Structure 1
Amino acid sequence: MSDNRSDLSSMLGKVISNPEAMQTIMKIAGELKDAKTEAAEAEEDNPQPAADGSTEQTAVANPHHHHHEGKKRDEEEENRIRLLVALKPYLNDDRREKADIMIRLLKLLRFTDLNELTKLLGDLSK
């Protein structure tokens, strides 16, 4: 697990130091956000059966179960962002800039799968 984090950290470092890569990431983030919004709207209009063959009745019977995990993850990400924002006044200029970048990246992670982002960062850091 530690190796994955260090690999991701090194990729992030390379991408952060490359303005073109950052622009590409922000563009892709916007596209992913739009795509997820459209997919969510389509799913609301036309719910699909679950992969195990069960219907959406399970989710209807307990609507909080499906959203609980996602909500918890969103709260954790939001807490990380709040922490970085709270620390910014105590950081030097270089670290403050890095905190801003990390805040943007954490917001980006809301809209993408970590595996997709890792592939993207791997391609951009070369």
Structure 2
Amino acid sequence: MNLKYWYTEKIDSDTYRVALKKPAPFNPTDSNKFVIYFQKGFLPIFNQILIFRDRNAAADYFFYKYKEIITFEDDIEISFNDNIFRYPFTGLVEDNFSKGITFKFSKKDQLNKLLLSLEKKYERLLYRNYA
């Protein structure tokens, strides 16, 4: 698969590390740190991914859309290279995506769907910030 923004590294037969090819240009303090929201749907077609440029943008989205206040814990450190996420899942991930996140997939087509969704949402985020 030819991707413009993301690359994959095969770890195991069903495990891949997904990372950015180039630093994200919209956050000057930590060029690759942004937030991705993964939501596992009732059916696979309802899985959703949203990308935010920073934690404030994510918090604003959840407050205005769902009237929920979310907070980020700064004192909790998770190594996304050492820990493997089973895809799909529901949660917010804030990380330096140049190092990547490791996912374990139960079906072969899940990787392609994830990559296509990440590619599309990241391009939309770049367009929103620089259009």
User: Whose helix fraction is larger, Structure 1's or Structure 2's?
Assistant: 1
Question: Is TM more than 0.5 here?
Answer: no
TM-score by length of 1: 0.27
Instruction: Tell which structure's C-alpha radius of gyration is larger.
Output: 1
> Which of the two has greater strand per residue?
2
Higher RCO (C-alpha 8 Å, min separation 6): 1
